[in-house]
Amino acid sequence: MILELDDVTVSFTTGPPLRRRRLDAVRGVSLAVAEGETLGVVGESGSGKTTTSRVALGLRRPTSGTVLFDGRPFPRRRRDLAGRIQAVLQHPHWSLNPRMRVGQSVAEPLAVLGRPAGSLVAEALEQVGLGAGFAERYPHELSGGQRQRVSIARALITRPSFVVLDEAVSALDVSVQAQILNLLKDLQAEFRFSALFISHDLGAVRYVADRIAVMRDGEIVETAAAAAFHTAPEHPYSRQLLESL
Amino acid sequence: MKKLRLDPLSLAGLACLLLLVLLALGSLVDAAGDPDAIVGPRLRPPGPGWWLGTDNLGRSVLPRVMEGVGTTLLLSSAAVLVTAALSAGFGVLAGYRGGYLNELIMRVVEVLYSFPAIVLAVLVAAVAGPGQLAALASIVLVTIPLMTRLVRAAAVAVAGRDYVTAAVISGARLPRVLGRHVLPNVAGTIAVQGTYALSVGISVEGGLSFLGFGVQPPQASLGVLIRQGGTYMMAAPWLIIGPGAVLVLAILSINVFGDGLRDRFEPRETRSLV
């Protein structure tokens, strides 16, 4: 298992002092991602998807429960994981630093590791279907789909073993979504990374995931292999989601 | 990079500001004569030989105004550079890190913010002794709270953006995250606030020197000249009109230029996500 969440709960406290309430963003979530596998997490907004992704990335420590990455808890220093775990995040508009050229953005994970970029940036841009010429451009010259391609190139340049895709295609047009999803499948076949694909869109999740976890109100209500999920969803909420497609 | 385009009005402001800088540079080579030389009778109205009149010692006012605008601009710009550097550091750190550091920095800033500018300035002058250093420190203390707050607010917004998160996930350490991602994206705010701080600085210097706590005569600054001119306002109004007009012009042109900068930077900064 590349990633294991066991009985993870994340709580926030809200409200004024003396009347503080505890709010569980996710409650008792257990999930696992095997090597080379894509686990899809689907759920409506507020269901705890984004909190789950932040826990999976080691950006937030759970209030209780354990998280293991590659069989070990997340190290205290993020740097010890540098290059092995990457993410493609939600907003194409803000996924790239507007003050940096595309090439610099793509090369950054290498720069952090102190590795020379060499021809890798050009290769990475070719791999995501953009020409090497894009390296000199600034993000505001790119469309949303192109920016997400750049984000993918940036995420994969260190050949990570695990990638979190948090609503990575949700802000794109449907036709562009399909292109990006196909690209992700191709790249995954080539580089064999594991992925956690988080989306509110069951259609997109169904397209890329090997297994699907359904979240609702901070809990996972059902986890099933993708094929089984489509033919016989167990939980009524899953059925509801499928029917609405 | 996008070209820095400004509307005609703020370009005019910039041009006017550059003209004042040129005047100040002119005083370095005594382009209009020695500001300390006695050139004619005392308190003469403008005329050939003394284009802005003469003062109570018979010195020509024009070179004194040129020296004065130089002193004022130099002092204010130096102070604003100090403010910008400190605000950038504290604001970015407070905005990005949050937590106790943020609370500490912001509470200190709020205490400073609660003092009226001139009271703060007089307090500094009382502690440090009147002079250029007191004027500089006063301008810094008066301008730092607003700038730090706004830089912090901008940094909070930038800190939540995906490219910052992506850099953190990649393993980037604090100096890199702040230096390459946060700071460049709050630079617009710093530039805009810097121009406003400059105009505040000029008026603080004016006020402080007018009260006698800032630049000390015989060195000329706009505040010093206005103070001296005030004494003879009825007999020789040109003594106060010259430096007064230049002060107004300086503050006005900087604000107009600042507005142009803001219009150039803020719409893009605040454009929403969808």
As a whole number of angstroms, the distance between CA B190 and CA B88 comes to: 7
**What pLDDT band is residue B274 in, cutting at 50, 70 and 90?**
very low
**What pLDDT band is residue B4 in, cutting at 50, 70 and 90?**
low
List the Cα angle B127/B131/B132 in 5-degree steps: 115
How many Å is the Cα radius of gyration of chain A? 18
| Helix, coil or strand: residue A78 | helix
- Per DSSP, what are the bridge partners of residue A198? A41, A166
CB-CB under 8 Å, A59 with B165? yes
The per-residue pLDDT for range B97-127, each reduced to its tens digit, is: 988 999 999 999 999 989 888 888 888 888 8
Whether B80 and B66 have beta carbons less than 8 Å apart is answered as no
The dihedral sign for the CA sequence B144, B145, B146, B149? positive
Could you say which of B165, B176, B184 has the minimum Cβ distance to residue A112?
A: B176
List the Cα angle B100/B104/B107 in 5-degree steps: 130
As a whole number of angstroms, the distance between CA B44 and CA A82 comes to: 76
Mutate to test the interface with B, among A74, A106, A108 (most CBs of B within 10 A): A108
Q: Residue B157's closest CA among B269, B42, B4, B62?
A: B269
Give domain status of residue B33, yes or no: no
For residue A165, what is the nearest residue in chain B, using CA coordinates?
A: B166
For B146, other C-beta atoms within 10 Å of its C-beta total 18
CA-CA distances (angstroms) from residue B269 to A151, B44, B264?
21, 54, 9
What's the pLDDT at A203? Answer: 85
- Residues of chain B that touch chain A, judged by Cβ-Cβ distance less than 8 Å: 1-2, 161-163, 165-173, 176, 180-181, 184-185, 273-274
| Helix, coil or strand: residue B226 | helix
Give domain status of residue B40, yes or no: no
Nearest CA distance, B99 vs chain A (angstrom): 15
Report the mean per-residue pLDDT for chain A. Answer: 87
B7 is written with which tokens?
A: 């509307």
| A151 touching chain B per CB within 8 A | yes
Name the amino acid, one letter, at A133.
G
Give domain status of residue B247, yes or no: yes
CA-CA distances (angstroms) from residue B166 to A64, A68, A151, B169, B223?
25, 21, 9, 5, 51
DSSP state of B43: T
* pTM given for the model: 0.85
CA-CA distances (angstroms) from residue B241 to B51, B57, B224?
13, 17, 13
What's the pLDDT at A97? Answer: 92
As a whole number of angstroms, the distance between CA B107 and CA B113 comes to: 10
Checking if the pLDDT of A127 tops 80, the result is yes
Checking if the pLDDT of B10 tops 60, the result is yes
B107 is written with which tokens?
A: 């509470």
How many distinct structural domains can be found in chain B? 1
Checking if the pLDDT of B160 tops 80, the result is yes
Asked if ipTM goes beyond 0.85, one says yes
The per-residue pLDDT for range A39-89, each reduced to its tens digit, is: 999 988 888 888 999 999 988 889 999 999 988 888 888 888 888 899 998
Checking if the pLDDT of B270 tops 60, the result is no
Nearest CA distance, A231 vs chain B (angstrom): 36
Checking if the pLDDT of B1 tops 60, the result is no
Give domain status of residue B232, yes or no: yes
What's the pLDDT at B269? Answer: 47
DSSP notation for B164-215: HHHHHHTT--HHHIIIIIIHHHHHHHHHHHHHHHHHHHHHHHHHHHHHTSSS
Give domain status of residue B115, yes or no: yes
Structural domains of chain A ordered from first start:
3-243 (3.40.50.300)
Which range of residues forms the domain containing residue B157?
A: 53-270
DSSP state of B246: H
Give domain status of residue B76, yes or no: yes
The CATH number covering residue B76 comes to: 1.10.3720.10
B33 is written with which tokens?
A: 């004569």
CB-CB under 8 Å, A97 with B181? yes
DSSP state of A12: E
What's the pLDDT at B79? Answer: 95
Checking if the pLDDT of B53 tops 70, the result is yes
As a whole number of angstroms, the distance between CA B138 and CA B143 comes to: 8
CA-CA distances (angstroms) from residue B271 to B92, B157, B267?
21, 12, 6
DSSP notation for B80-149: HHHHHHHHHHHHHHHHHH-HHHHHHHHHHHHHHHTS-HHHHHHHHHHHH-SSHHHHHHHHHHHHHHHHHH
Start-to-end Cα distance in chain B: 23
Residue found under tokens 């706004």: B150
The per-residue pLDDT for range A191-210, each reduced to its tens digit, is: 889 999 999 888 888 888 99
Mean pLDDT across B9-38: 86
CB-CB under 8 Å, B163 with A97? yes
Mean pLDDT across B194-221: 88
What's the pLDDT at B268? Answer: 53
As a whole number of angstroms, the distance between CA B143 and CA B151 comes to: 12
Quick one: residue A62, left, alpha or beta (phi over 0 = left, psi -120 to 50 = alpha)? beta
Checking if the pLDDT of B70 tops 80, the result is yes
Contacts of A171 in chain B (CB under 8 A): 274
**What pLDDT band is residue A104 in, cutting at 50, 70 and 90?**
very high
Checking if the pLDDT of B271 tops 60, the result is no
Mutate to test the interface with A, among B3, B162, B176, B268 (most CBs of A within 10 A): B162
Name the amino acid, one letter, at A17.
P
Please report, rounded to a whole number, the percentage of residues in chain B having pLDDT higher than 90.
42
Q: Please give the torsion angle defined by the CA atoms of residues A130, A131, A137 and A138, in that order, rounded to the nearest 10 degrees.
A: 10
Checking if the pLDDT of A111 tops 80, the result is yes
A191 is written with which tokens?
A: 């580089």
